[in-house]
Amino acid sequence: MAGVTAVELAGARVTVMGLARSGVAACRLLQLAGARVTVADRKESAELTAILGSIDRDHVAVTVGARYESSLDEADLVVISPGVPYRLSSLEAVRRRGVKVISELELASQFFRSPLLAITGTNGKSTTVTLIGKFLAESGKRAFVGGNLGTALSEAAVEALRASQAGQSSPFDYLVVEVSSFQLETVDRFHPWIAALLNVTVDHQDRYESLDEYVAAKQRIFENQTASDFALFNLDDDRVAPLRQQVRAKRLGFTKASTIGADLDGGTFLDGDMIVTTVTGVRQEICRRSEIRIIGNHNVENVMAGWRPQPMRCCAAVRSTRFVAFL
């Protein structure tokens, strides 16, 4: 099948592999879109009792345990949860048949017209998306905040699709999504308006053969961006900063230094104790570093990455933010 819109999904045979939080949410979304859904997991039924109880077993086929890969045999589309390695031999066989294998994130993202802000990096994703959500709330905007953090994007897509089916407008003005490298491995049409790469350190060595492969997965967040989008980079990270030369989007940066590169379209930096930005084309002061209530130099970077161009409201959000749970 060519894509994953609701029209294209109607009547399609779709297998969801992995019955964690995002897999169950994808199942609900696919059902609402009219797909013929099969859910699959390598765990046995006894280990999945609670999860299987949340699925509409009258209308969803379930294949678990040793035969779970047989669910792929007649699939028109396969949606994988982040915990499912995209290199599984059974998934490679599916691809050779010309069947798309996509992530739950990819699936859900096709159901929105609202601007999508996607944040990835080894550390700081949860803090940054939470800050952006607070900034938007201070601005009176309706924002979904989730993805790899908290609520799966498919849950928001269910709300958006229901609103569309009822002839109503989208319930969200913005989508702020934490994105992991696992979710980016199968990028197809995922297209954030703003994409940010916060940092890269050695991680997930059980999943990737090298650090370069891990960085390449992270870098796919920018893959479908165009000149009307924005790509944001941590200029203090030696692995991240050079990647800005490879994007088509407008390039933005943030740094704890007192200036940004001339090759950028704008950025955020420190002038003494003041966090300053030029992303709107003019110099604006956001807040003082000493006003940030969340502890640690890395959270100065998170504020820089998450800032939106309304300094007074952003400052209020930063001053009120004391703690963010890291996932």
Q: Does residue 324 lie within any of the structural domains?
A: no
Among 83, 107, 131, the domain boundary falls at 107
How many domains is the chain partitioned into structurally? 2
Q: What is the pTM of this model?
A: 0.87
Determine which of 9-23, 59-73, 213-227, 287-301 has the lowest per-residue pLDDT on average. Answer: 287-301
Burial class (CB in 10 A: 0-12, 13-18, 19+), 300: middle
Q: 239 pLDDT exceeds 90?
A: yes
Query: Do residues 143 and 181 share a domain?
Result: yes
Alpha-carbon span 176 to 276, nearest angstrom? 23
Residue-number span of the structural domain to which 232 is assigned? 112-306
Tokens of 239: 């692995």
Distance, CA of 224 to CA of 215 (rounded, Å): 17
Strand order in the sheet with 230-234: 143-147, 174-178, 116-120, 194-197, 230-234, 250-254, 266-271, 274-277, 284-288
Question: Would you say residue 322 lies in a domain?
Answer: no
In a domain, 313, yes or no: no
315: in domain = no
228 with 295, same domain?
yes
Same domain, 249 and 167: yes
Residue 319 confidence (pLDDT) above 50:
no
Torsion, Cα 284 290 293 299, to 10 degrees, reads: 70
pLDDT of residue 136: 86
Q: Is 20 exposed, middle or buried (0-12, 13-18, 19+ CB in 10 A)?
A: middle
Per-residue model confidence as pLDDT tens digits over 188-199: 999 999 999 999
For residue 71, give the CATH number of its domain.
Answer: 3.40.50.720
pLDDT given at position 1: 45
Whether residue 96 is found in the same domain as residue 117: no
Q: Domain with 144 in it: what CATH number? A: 3.40.1190.10
Determine the 3-state secondary structure of 156 from DSSP: helix
- Averaged pLDDT, 55-81: 94
Q: What is the distance, to the nearest Å, from the Cα of residue 214 to the centroid of all Cα atoms in its chain? A: 16
Query: Cα separations (Å) of 200 from 124, 208, 211, 241, 248?
Result: 11, 14, 9, 10, 21
202 plus 250 within the same structural domain: yes
State whether 100 and 215 are in the same domain: no
For residues 178 and 297, membership in a common domain is answered with yes
What's the mean pLDDT when you consider all of the chain? 87
Say how far apart CA 27 and CA 285 lie, in whole Å: 45
Burial class (CB in 10 A: 0-12, 13-18, 19+), 242: exposed
pLDDT > 50? residue 210: yes
DSSP 289: G
Whether residues 103 and 148 fall in one domain: no
Q: Is residue 318 part of a domain?
A: no
If asked whether residues 103 and 116 sit together in one domain, one would say no
Q: How far apart are CA 312 and CA 314, in angstroms?
A: 5
Assigned domain for 48 exists: yes
Closest CA to 317 of 124, 135, 141: 135
CA atoms within 13 A on the CB side of 194: 22
Same domain, 70 and 177: no
The partner residues of 147 in beta bridges, in order of sequence, read 178
Examine the fold and report which residue of 107, 134, 149 is the final residue of a domain before the chain moves on: 107
| Six token digits for residue 117 | 């802000």
Q: Where is the domain boundary, 60, 75, 107? A: 107
Q: Quick: pLDDT tens for 144-170.
A: 999 987 899 999 999 999 999 999 999
Q: Domain for residue 316, yes or no? A: no
Q: Confidence class of residue 204 from pLDDT cuts 50, 70 and 90?
A: low
Q: Considering the domain boundaries, does residue 312 fall inside one?
A: no
Same domain for 36 and 170? no
Q: What is the pLDDT of residues 75-103, one digit of tens each?
A: 999 999 998 999 899 999 999 999 999 99
| Alpha helix (H) residue ranges in the chain | 6-9, 21-32, 49-52, 89-96, 104-109, 125-138, 153-165, 181-184, 211-219, 297-306, 311-320
Asked whether residue 152 falls in the same domain as residue 19, the answer is no
